[in-house]
Structure 1
Amino acid sequence: MSVSRWWSAAAIATLFGTSTLPLFAGENELTESEKRGGWKLLFDGKTTDGWRNYKKDNISEGWKVQDGTLVRADKGAGDIVTKDEYGSFELSIEYKITEAGNSGIMFHVSEDGGAPWHSGPEIQVQDNVKGHDPQKAGWLYQLYEPKPGFMEKTQPDATRPAGEWNQMQIRITPAGSEINMNGVRYVTFTKGNKDWDDRVAKSKFAKMEKFGKNTKGHLCLQDHNDVVAYRNIKIRELPDNGIAKDPVDGKLPLVSEKAFPNLKWAGWEPETESGQIRPFRTIFLMHSGDGTNRLFAGEQWGQVFAFKNDQAATDSHVFLDLRKKVQYADNMNEEGLLGMAFHPKFKTNGEFFIYYSTKDAEHTTVVSRFKVSKDDPNKADPASEEELIRFPQPFWNHKGGTIAFGPDGMLYIALGDGGAGNDPFGNGQNLSKQLGKILRIDVDHKDAGKAYAIPKDNPFVGNKDAAPEIYAYGFRNPWRIAFDSKTGTLWCSDVGQNLWEEIDLVEKGGNYGWNFREGLHPFGAKTPPADAKLLDPIWEYDHQVGKSITGGNVYRGSRIKELAGKYVYADYVTGKVWALDYDEEKKAVKGNYSIPSNGLPIMSFGEDEQGDMYFMGVAPDGHGIYRFKAE
């Protein structure tokens, strides 16, 4: 407990005059995704409706609404509680504390004790720099505190300084609970299990009969005699299993079916010589754009297969075999053969490009040019490989991997931040590094010392502190990117860290925020510079809906009219599939629709020459390509 202080009007003015943090989701408003996902506002930015003092019918004058925030402003304000009670829920709340200030957020509070904290566990709110309480902000008071993470030697402190906004995301359910501070996972726990009971028994709450026993109760904001402001207070009630409502407007009358059900992969066997199961991992599927109506399927272990785009097809052949060069292992499954792009003039020049993890250097990826065999147009010439660029990376994950030609004829390369978690080297925002970026290069010309040229209109050409290949930055792990074949817009699905998955429309020179933020939400202790212009995602969904986005493309085929003009995407972990209807001109989401699926992990999407869409997954029997059809 901190020393009591009474704050003057000047202190309140200071509290509201020092923040440079951007408004990540609009003050006291729900995003389109939140509206569809069951979130509700607990504070409208104008009134104290929905709140009252503990054991009172009304709220005291010590709590005031100022500049769209709910402020504990004057002495005698008292603890306040929600008028409603909540059992299983998720709470998102932003706070701004004064220097050395202290407050708290409690849950499952009942009014049959002497004080709210006699029944409701408290999540600490304080200034971690000059605060006097050893229990830091974001800790579950005397019960759970964060432990050092990967590459960390001390406890994480993801709070931003006094006078700046911080965001907490809190989930409480019987299935499991968690506290996240500015997007960083602090603690996970299960209320009422043995570990919980053991910790309570060792705390100052041990003799409080009601402490932590309620399974439903009020939320409480603590008056600790210090000025503190709250805003963007949002809640979503959850079922006890913690699975949230899908943020959708409806369901499309479609089902999935296996595509090319009789197709066999030349030379592939479902078991290794030692008897181990070796599923077929279709990592990409594409056409060559040369009018031959062929499809090319990449298998993550290092082979590209070609076959006729015919649902009755039975035979395939190996177009390119790079298994001796490609590094892949199941325990590092974000490496391997990851991307392929055919040159826009492939029909005449026979060139295509491959992105893969190489065996000749640990955790390193390369982009190489290949050519079709002079003797056989159905086979590539492995000896024609010309390495264009390589990317040493610190870890095995977050490789990105899509390479694609834009309507401008340039090759775009999507790269993750280098891996691990939380972007430990800050690559996403470091313009001198190529990781965490989308690059743009000219493969038809060569600059001195390079196997490619830098387009003169790239946004950071001439900036001595930036890699000139960079087209856009601030990405965690773009999986995947795709150009709309009609409009030329570049779509990117970026995999999130702990809480949010996002979809971006990529602009030249754009900064998409990682690791200052995850989706629309603050991440970590670093505040973006005052002049930072972070571009918002057009859509996001949270980790109670899915946990790892797989980007597809805007459907421009004619076979499935329900998908026309919609961006189709999925979640790898849950197997859910959606279609996002977005109005680029109005910059507004018109609708997000679920597509019934088989629930299998979806690794990637593909497209044939007619614009029809496919999605792929890991298949022990080799039949891992699917397509949609009318219900």
Structure 2
Amino acid sequence: MTRLRWSVPTILALAASLLAVPPATARDDGPIKDPIPDDPAPAGMGLVLQEVAQLPKSEPTPPELVTDPRLKRHNRINYVGEIPDGSGRLFVPDLNGKLYFLDGKTKEQKVYLDVGATFAPDFFSAQGLGQGFGFTAFHPEFKKNGKFYTVHVEAGEALKTKTPDLTPQPRTAYHGVVDEWTATDPSSDTFQGTRRELLRVGFSGRIHGIQQIDFSPNARPGDADYGKLYMAVGDGGNGNVGDNGGDPQNLGVPQGKILRIDPAGNDSANGKYGIPADNPYAGQAGKVGEIYAHGMRDPHRFSWDTKGSKRMFLAHIGEHAIESIHQISPGSNLGWSEREGAFRFDKADRCFLYPLPADDIKNGYEYPLAAYDHDPPVGHSCTSDSGHAISGGYVYRGGHLPALRGKYLFTDIVDGRLLYTEERDMRRDPTGQKRAQIYQLAAYDTAGNPVTMRQLAGDNRVDLRFGMDAKGEPYLLAKANGKIWKIVGTRTFADCKTGPVRVSHATRAGDWTPVTPSKWRFENGQVVLAEAGAERPGPRRPFEYAVLQKGPAVGSSRIDAKVRLDTPVEVSNRDVIIVFGYKSDTEFYYAHLSSDNTIYPHNGIFVVNNADRLRIDGQWNGNRQAPKGAPPAIKDAAWHDVQVEHCAGTGEIAVYVDGGRKPIMTAVDTTFGSGRVGFGSFDNVGRLRDLTVTGTPAQ
């Protein structure tokens, strides 16, 4: 073995080398103005929706106390599910008080139980978005034992005459109550039987009470989890400040937790239910044994994947920034109100989140598997509702919609976006840095016309939620108009017939009409824009392009080509465009393919209609601290495959790059139903080859 000789020169040289190491980059612990820069991406797919029912109009109780316009909806239906008795009947709770049963075939509706009337005059649904009759859960053996469970809110005299079973919040103003009902005849469409109260929780605030209650569909008779009732209990709306600050992290109180109980047991403090021995804190002094997981603000909806890993997922509504999906295991801690999503929450700052501390991993918080942020518009008050909230759905494992299998389906309650992420991509990351990509789905009516949930609900505030039947087939329901839709199919976005016209081998000068012929070359099978264009009078539009004259104008069309940007990569705003639907120099569509996606005119789909170009794709987000659109389409000097699909009948437009299975940009616009194809740029240079246009002849 060679022995190292530590001479004075050696020591001095080593010291010098150590001193020469540059210092570590200082951490930026300041406020984060754009927590999640990535937006949901286009899925390239849509759901086909069939309206199956509209529930009756209802009013909050007592009506004279309603001051929040968000409660004044057609009704406040909150979920749709199937009764587990093989009858095919669906159940729908309305927060305003009634439980409806719908016939499995006709969807004819009947009031099965009036929860509001049963608990009047203490029943309360007039203030708070989740107050009233919140949820129903049927025992897995309902067909035999007739048992089901409800959660509702009480105020009034109940606050004086009834006592919460677990530690209430100071200045309790509302009680969340879980009841067990036993139907004499489980097959009846009208309830008759008995009830008993299981559990009562006291809240100081009018929001974030007891949300969902449910049984795991994965548990089988004999399993430890069989017949155990899970309850999502919010923080009461004040879990981060005041007297209740820290409740979600306090294992001595039930607020801000998921609880798990055994309705058939009797070892709880009130003797009305059991505390499962395998709960993580069962039997521990000073801790609520009913707690299964904690650290939650508004645990809105939870579900279990019925195949694969069979994991439990929770959709968690954030404060002012983060909507998130988490995996829930015994003892999981989501971090609220120390954390919102994978960010540090500062109770003194009502506007911004902060980076995680360097040693955060020691806390063991359960950070989101997937998440998106609010991006409120410029000038929006950071202490007011920004109009976003997640409503969790479930991982689709049904048999009728193969394109959805393995996808966790969910919605944004307020704006009605239909979203999903792949279950296989939802993986835990203790650092909170890695999240599954979220995709946004389109929607169609049964005739194949693209629609939005805002259009179907007739309101900009949709109040949209997922539900499902016993086979895992999905439904959607909206409070805005009280309607229920069944998802009866899926469609590929911009999937329409293009043909019989086919144009290719179009690289001769005679095949094209350029704006400025001297700037173009047609050589070696390529169409080359060799000199940058210059702005021209008239509407703001691409400066230089050439229109394909070979073949006829087309309606629905598909454009396939290879393109290259010849402007040096050091130039950030380099671009080329694909023109389609061309009518005239001031009437056409174009897809802008750029290396830069940080300004409005770049990297999007646009229409020029005798006015300045207008962006029509759904990717531009100008509400961010650093606005941006779809990911840059082309960032290098290589050739890239580009595909543009345009369905004239529906107005759908999709742009794909390099054979991607999902489009990088989509739009729906019916301004131009037909026209010619073209290629060009604003003020850059580039080239095209291997062009093929297939389409229907223009009418």
User: Shorter-chain TM-score: what band?
Assistant: 0.5 to 0.7
- 2: distance between equivalents of 1:352 and 1:539? 32
How far did 1:531 drift?
A: 5.0
Distance 1:529 1:582, change over 3 A: closer
Deviations 1:441-478 (A, max 9, x none): 01122116421000011101232121000000001101
Contact 1:282 1:625 in 2 (8 A): no
How far did 1:414 drift?
A: 0.3
1:412 aligns with 2:233: no
Distance 1:521 1:401, change over 3 A: same
Which residue among 504, 527, 532 is the counterpart of 2:326?
504
Partner amino acid, structure 2, of 1:342: F
Which residue among 181, 184, 193 is the counterpart of 1:370?
181
1:66 aligns with 2:29: no
Matched position secondary structure for 1:259: strand
Deviations 1:173-230 (A, max 9, x none): xxxxxxxxxxxxxxxxxxxxxxxxxxxxxxxxxxxxxxxxxxxxxxxxxxxxxxxxxx
Aligned match of 1:295? 90
Distance 1:601 1:510, change over 3 A: same
Aligned match of 1:607? 468
Contact 1:363 1:392 in 2 (8 A): yes
1:462 aligns with 2:325: no
How far did 1:379 drift?
A: 2.2
Partner amino acid, structure 2, of 1:514: W
Deviates more, 1:588-597 or 1:505-514: 588-597
Contact 1:412 1:440 in 2 (8 A): yes
Aligned match of 1:492? 314
- 2: distance between equivalents of 1:451 and 1:273? 30
How far did 1:577 drift?
A: 1.6
Which residue among 540, 565, 572 is the counterpart of 2:406?
565
How far did 1:524 drift?
A: 1.5
Contact 2:131 2:207 in 1 (8 A): yes
Contact 1:459 1:508 in 2 (8 A): yes
Mapping 1:114-513, distance limit 5 Å: 166-170=29-33, 246-248=39-41, 250-261=42-53, 265=56, 279-310=74-105, 312-313=106-107, 315-324=108-117, 325=119, 327-359=123-155, 360-361=158-159, 362-374=173-185, 377-381=188-192, 384-406=194-216, 407=219, 408-409=225-226, 410-420=228-238, 422-424=240-242, 425=244, 426-447=246-267, 449-486=270-307, 487-513=309-335
- 2: distance between equivalents of 1:523 and 1:556? 36
Contact 2:131 2:152 in 1 (8 A): yes
Aligned match of 1:102? none
Deviates more, 1:593-602 or 1:561-570: 593-602
Distance 1:64 1:296, change over 3 A: farther
How far did 1:428 drift?
A: 0.7
- 1: distance between equivalents of 2:199 and 2:176? 9
Matched position secondary structure for 2:363: coil
Partner amino acid, structure 2, of 1:568: L
Deviations 1:102-158 (A, max 9, x none): xxxxxxxxxxxxxxxxxxxxxxxxxxxxxxxxxxxxxxxxxxxxxxxxxxxxxxxxx
How far did 1:589 drift?
A: 5.8
Number of residue pairs aligned between Structure 1 and Structure 2: 398
How far did 1:511 drift?
A: 1.0
Contact 2:61 2:125 in 1 (8 A): no
Deviations 1:481-501 (A, max 9, x none): 112222432110111012111
How far did 1:272 drift?
A: 12
Matched position secondary structure for 2:293: strand
Partner amino acid, structure 1, of 2:453: N
Contact 2:475 2:484 in 1 (8 A): no
Aligned match of 2:391? 550
- 1: distance between equivalents of 2:361 and 2:86? 51
Partner amino acid, structure 1, of 2:475: Y
How far did 1:377 drift?
A: 2.4
1:627 aligns with 2:627: no
How far did 1:539 drift?
A: 1.1
Aligned match of 1:617? 478
Aligned match of 1:538? 369
Matched position secondary structure for 1:66: coil
Matched position secondary structure for 2:283: coil
Matched position secondary structure for 1:536: coil
How far did 1:576 drift?
A: 1.2
Unmatched 5+ stretches in structure 2: 1-19, 67-71, 160-172, 220-224, 349-356, 377-386, 429-433, 443-451, 455-460, 492-699
How far did 1:367 drift?
A: 0.7
Q: Percent identity?
A: 28
- 2: distance between equivalents of 1:344 and 1:470? 22
- 1: distance between equivalents of 2:21 and 2:128? 53
Deviations 1:576-612 (A, max 9, x none): 1211103279658664321124135234321112211
- 2: distance between equivalents of 1:547 and 1:585? 22
Distance 1:606 1:569, change over 3 A: same
How far did 1:317 drift?
A: 1.1
Partner amino acid, structure 2, of 1:367: V
How far did 1:427 drift?
A: 0.8
Aligned match of 2:379? none
Contact 1:601 1:618 in 2 (8 A): yes
Contact 1:550 1:602 in 2 (8 A): no
Distance 1:423 1:350, change over 3 A: farther
Aligned match of 2:619? none
Distance 1:589 1:395, change over 3 A: closer
- 2: distance between equivalents of 1:414 and 1:394? 17
Contact 2:146 2:186 in 1 (8 A): no
Distance 1:350 1:66, change over 3 A: farther
Contact 1:484 1:554 in 2 (8 A): yes
- 1: distance between equivalents of 2:260 and 2:322? 27
Distance 1:270 1:259, change over 3 A: farther
Distance 1:595 1:330, change over 3 A: farther
Contact 1:500 1:518 in 2 (8 A): yes
Matched position secondary structure for 1:380: coil
Deviates more, 1:293-302 or 1:370-379: 370-379
TM-score normalised to structure 1 length = 0.58
Which residue among 306, 326, 339 is the counterpart of 1:517?
339
Contact 1:582 1:591 in 2 (8 A): no
- 2: distance between equivalents of 1:273 and 1:489? 40
Aligned match of 1:595? 441
Partner amino acid, structure 1, of 2:294: Y
Distance 1:418 1:322, change over 3 A: same
How far did 1:420 drift?
A: 3.8
Distance 1:609 1:432, change over 3 A: same
- 2: distance between equivalents of 1:287 and 1:562? 23
How far did 1:65 drift?
A: 5.7
Unmatched 5+ stretches in structure 1: 1-62, 71-93, 96-165, 172-233, 237-244
Partner amino acid, structure 1, of 2:40: P
- 2: distance between equivalents of 1:273 and 1:434? 28
Distance 1:443 1:466, change over 3 A: same
Aligned match of 2:553? none
Deviates more, 1:525-534 or 1:574-583: 525-534
Mapping 1:30-45, distance limit 5 Å: none
Contact 1:295 1:308 in 2 (8 A): yes
Contact 1:167 1:522 in 2 (8 A): no
Contact 1:559 1:612 in 2 (8 A): yes
- 2: distance between equivalents of 1:251 and 1:421? 36
- 2: distance between equivalents of 1:317 and 1:421? 38
Distance 1:590 1:394, change over 3 A: closer
Distance 1:516 1:536, change over 3 A: same
